[in-house]
Amino acid sequence: MSVTLLAGSATATASVAAAVENPGAAPAATAAPTAPVENLIVGYKASATEASSNTAAADDANAKGKKAGKKAKFDRRLGTGAALVNLGGATAPADAANVMAQFRADPDVAYVEPDTRAYAMAVTPNDTEYAKQWDLFEPTAGMNVPGAWDKTTGSGVTVAVIDTGYVAHSDVAPNIVSGYDFISTSSEARDGNGRDSNPADEGDWNATDGECGVGSKASTSSWHGTHVAGTIAAATNNSKGVAGIAYGAKIQPVRVLGKCGGATSDIVDAITWASGGSVAGVPANATPAKVINMSLGGPGACGTSYQNAINAAVARGTTVVVAAGNSNANASGYSPASCNNVINVASTNRAGERSYYSNYGSIIDIAAPGGETRRATDTPGTVTTPENAILSTLNAGTTTPGAESYKPYQGTSMAAPHIAGLAALLKSANTSLTPAQIESAIKTNARPLPGTCTGGCGAGLADAAATVAAVTSTPPTSGRENTTDYAIADNSTVESPITVTGVTGNAPATLKVGVNIVHSYIGDLKVDLVAPDGSVYTLHNRSGGSTANINQVYTVNASSEVANGTWKLRVNDNAGGDTGKIDSWNLTF
């Protein structure tokens, strides 16, 4: 199968024993204040009475204030042992400096400094095109990315962009790590050979109509992978171009799409390699990705080849993000969008409605900005509202690479990297998160679409700041995963429990059950999810024959079940000769 592009006072009186270290040091020099000061922080030497007595510190503050002609009052003791001295309100810098001079002249004072203010560091990036990136910051339909940058920028995480490869661009180059070209056929790769270690985008243009099958049209090169890469991790605060969502992360370009798209066999190998698996004839990946973005797809239900590769990638700890498709149809009819174990992303426009082209359906997990370069009623092929699309890094070459550029694109191809970038932010902020936990956090912390979505857009519009805050404050899936091994003996039944608390109401109609069972013959096994009230939902019933291991995410309509309580994964072995274990399982609400 070939696939194509889917283009954020009470005064203390108690005596304390804390004291300032280095009692013999002279009072530290502090720059004169340049803004009004309300409080001073005074550190006394350990030998001074004021270091251990709040009463003495209060008397000293009062006396020094009088000498400087200003009010000064002991407020409280800091955790370090230093005294906080209140100047009675905003005090002009020169007057505050006079009070500080009185303290500094006292040999019992180790240091004195103004109680200055700190501010969130997520200031507006100085990238020259940032103001056009509505998808990151606009309150209506942006993804609230700046609010997440105070806590994480994606540092330490590699995101594999399985796409057309990468054409050199100075706004992405600082965040590129070595990738690979998985296109097997020389004519499709346009680089004179098959697979190699150079993932450079050689262009995916088609010279004539029909060249790539009936109905295909001549086209220029898209430089699609570079556009996706810029959305995820363009260099930021470099006074150039655009800002990336996870600009501290690294991009691993993995080339699978060339002339006339790409083959499933190549993409499956790319998924395996990018996530740290082994592919015959290909060197090991030195920097395996913790997030994979696939803004690609084609018609048809998810095949076994795709599903096996995705399952294995997730088992290695890699979150897989895919585009829903651009056919204004149910995503269940497209692949890899219809695969299990992925985060399936629909596209929204600047008004927060489902983009007219975006696929939809019950299998959509989340929506993210994908933009619209034209309205649904505009003539197909025209570009009437470029300001409402997703601006990112590109190239001006029509066939082979030319000068680097920036251009707005629309598509679920543009929505998916928003979620891949968010996944990188989450993994960086909390390295213990599993792919299931990352998906759960994104969905749980989404906000309702401000517009409409006929057909279904999953949990809503992703919110980066809310999601990052959730995973950095409390465990996002406390009590929703069991990693204890439970042995599966011949002709026996074993259960692994998960106790769920803190979830309001019933379980969802799309409860995700992640199952990782190690067993040499899964045709022996019946696997059930048992709800807290004893209701049984069959996940796997003695299918698969001699296939080894179950590593899959199942979707269960558990909307009639109260979410809180003890859920169980029940495994029944119905034959002899093969044994195994429940390695782990999880619930995603």
| Residue 473 a catalytic site member | no
User: Which residues share a beta bridge with 394?
Assistant: 405
Residue 62 burial by CB count (10 A; 0-12/13-18/19+): exposed, middle or buried? middle
**What is the residue-wise DSSP string for 536-589?**
EEEEEES-STT---EEEEEEE--TTSBSSEEEEEEEEE-SSS--EEEEEEEEE-
Residue 339 tokens read as 């695969």
Instruction: Render the burial of 385-424: b for 16+ CB within 10 Å, e for the rest.
Output: bbebbbbbbbbebeeebeebebbbbbbbbbbbbbbbbbbb
Distance in angstroms (rounded) separating the CA atoms of residues 485 and 477: 19
Distance in angstroms (rounded) separating the CA atoms of residues 14 and 57: 11
Residues with Cβ within 8 Å of 322's Cβ and at least 6 positions away in sequence, in order, are 294, 295, 297, 336, 337, 339, 342, 343, 344, 345, 416
Q: Taking the C-alpha atoms of 97, 102, 106 and 108 in order, what is their torsion angle to the nearest 10 degrees?
A: -70
Half-sphere exposure in the Cβ direction for 444 (13 Å, CA): 23
Angle of helix 224-233 relative to helix 412-429, nearest 10 degrees, comes to 40
Distance in angstroms (rounded) separating the CA atoms of residues 276 and 147: 32
Residue 396 tokens read as 């001006």
Half-sphere exposure in the Cβ direction for 385 (13 Å, CA): 17
Q: Are strands 319-323 and 343-348 parallel, antiparallel or unpaired?
A: parallel
Q: DSSP alpha helices (H): ranges in 430-463?
A: 435-444
| Residue 169 a catalytic site member | no
Q: Taking the C-alpha atoms of 88, 93, 95 and 101 in order, what is their torsion angle to the nearest 10 degrees?
A: 110
Residues with Cβ within 8 Å of 393's Cβ and at least 6 positions away in sequence, in order, are 169, 171, 172, 226, 227, 229, 230, 234, 241, 242, 404, 405, 406
310 in Cβ contact with 341 (< 8 Å): yes
First CA to last CA distance, the chain: 33
**What is the residue-wise DSSP string for 33-86?**
PSS-EEEEEEEEBTTSGGGT-HHHHHHHHHHHHHHHTS--EEEEE-TTSPEEEE
421 in Cβ contact with 231 (< 8 Å): yes
Distance in angstroms (rounded) separating the CA atoms of residues 479 and 497: 10
Catalytic, out of 169, 201, 224, 295: 224
| Residue 224 a catalytic site member | yes
Of 417, 471, 410, nearest to 443 (Cα)?
A: 471
Catalytic, out of 163, 171, 266, 583: 163
User: Which residues share a beta bridge with 585?
Assistant: 482, 515
Angle of helix 304-315 relative to helix 264-274, nearest 10 degrees, comes to 10
Provide the 10 A C-beta neighbour count for residue 359: 32
80 in Cβ contact with 88 (< 8 Å): no
Provide the 10 A C-beta neighbour count for residue 221: 23
Tell me how far apart the 2 most distant CA atoms of the chain are, in Å: 92
Catalytic, out of 295, 392, 413, 496: 413
Task: Name the residues annotated as catalytic.
Answer: 163, 224, 413
